[in-house]
Structure 1
Amino acid sequence: MNDDAATLMQNQKIILFDAQCKLCSAWCNFIINNDANTIFKLCSVQSPKGELLLTHFGFSTIEYASMVYVENGKAYTQSHAFFEVVKQLGYPYKLANIFSVLPNRFNNWSYDKIALNRYTLFGKYQYCRIPAPSDAAHYL
C-alpha cells in the first residue's frame, strides 16, 4: 500500500470528482450545502492528491468515468458511490437510497448513461474550478 495514499485516506471520507464537469461541480455544491458537519472531503481528480488516490486504486488519471468515494481504504464507484454518500447526509437525502434496492446492473447503467454524457448534457469548464475560500473546510 502506498504510504502517501494511506496517510491521505486515514480517517477521511473522500469524494473524488471531475473539477471540469459542471454536473460534478453542482454535486460538490450540493455536498457543501448539505454536509453540515463536514464529514466529507472533496478532492478534484485533476489535483495531485486526486491523482495519487486514483493511481492507488488502479483508476485512470486521464479518463474519468465515475465519481469515486473513498472510505476506510475502500473505493466505491458509480451508483455505489452515490448511495454511500447520500445515506450519510441524513433526511431527506438518504431517502434516495430506496433506489439502491433496484438491481445494481440497472443503477450502474443509469449512472453510466449520465456520467458518460455529462459534458454534453451539462457542459464543461475549460479550467478546473477554484473553490471559494469559505468552502476550504470541505476540501482535502
Structure 2
Amino acid sequence: MEKENIIFFDGVCNLCNGFIDYVIKRDKKKSIFYAALQSETAKSKLKKHIELKENTDYTTIYYFTNNKLYSKSSAILNIFLELSTTHAFLARVLFVIPKFIRDAIYTFIAKNRYLFFGKKSTCRLPSLEERNQFL
C-alpha cells in the first residue's frame, strides 16, 4: 500500500527538525509519515513530481497528500489541516493570504534557516517510538 500524508524535509536543518518534532507530538492519529529530502526514499517518491539533484540546497518542504504535492507555505498549511481543530482553523485563516505573499515569507526564512537556527552534521534519526512514521 502506498503511503499518503508524507512530509519531505531537510534532514540536517534544525528548524525543519523542530517542525517535524512539533508535528509528531500533535499528530494523534499517527497518519503523517516523514522522509528527509536527502534520502533515497524522497528521491524515489518525488521523482514523478520534481527532480531532486545531488548537493542541492533543500530549501523547500514538501507535503504529499491525496495524490497532490504541496510545497512551501501550502505544504505547511496543508499539514496543519491534518492536526487539531485549532491548527486547521489557523491554516484556513492563513490560506486567505495570497500564496505569493506566504511563499515570499517562507522563502526568506528558508534561505536564512541555517543562519537563524543552525544545522546538524547528519540527518535526523528517529527515536524508537517514531521509527514507524519515518520512511
Report the TM-score, using the length of structure 1 for normalisation. Answer: 0.87
In the other structure, the counterpart of 2:108 is 113
In the other structure, the counterpart of 1:128 is 123
Q: Aligned equivalents of 2:36 and 2:3: distance in 1?
A: 18
Give the length in aligned residue pairs.
132
Q: Aligned equivalents of 2:66 and 2:41: distance in 1?
A: 17
5+ residue gaps, structure 2, are none
1:87 aligns with 2:88: no
Q: Specify whether residues 138 and 11 from structure 1 end up closer, same or farther in structure 2 by C-alpha distance, changes over 3 A only.
A: closer
Identity %: 27
5+ residue gaps, structure 1, are 1-6
Q: Aligned equivalents of 1:53 and 1:25: distance in 2?
A: 20
- Which residues in structure 2 correspond to 1:56-71 (within 5 Å)? 56-61=48-53, 62-71=56-65
Q: Is the 8 A contact 1:38 1:137 kept in 2?
A: no
Q: Is the 8 A contact 2:6 2:63 kept in 1?
A: yes
RMSD of aligned alpha carbons: 1.4
1:35 aligns with 2:30: no
Q: Secondary structure at the residue paired with 1:133?
A: coil
Q: Is the 8 A contact 2:10 2:59 kept in 1?
A: no
Deviations 1:21-48 (A, max 9, x none): 0001001101110001111101111111
Q: Aligned equivalents of 2:22 and 2:85: distance in 1?
A: 14
Which of 40, 44, 55 lines up with 1:48 in the alignment? 40
Report the TM-score, using the length of structure 2 for normalisation. Answer: 0.90
Q: Aligned equivalents of 1:119 and 1:23: distance in 2?
A: 8
What displacement does 1:115 show?
1.0
| Larger displacement relative to structure 2 (17-26 or 88-97) | 88-97
Which of 20, 32, 37 lines up with 2:12 in the alignment? 20
Q: Is the 8 A contact 1:42 1:138 kept in 2?
A: yes
In the other structure, the counterpart of 2:96 is 101
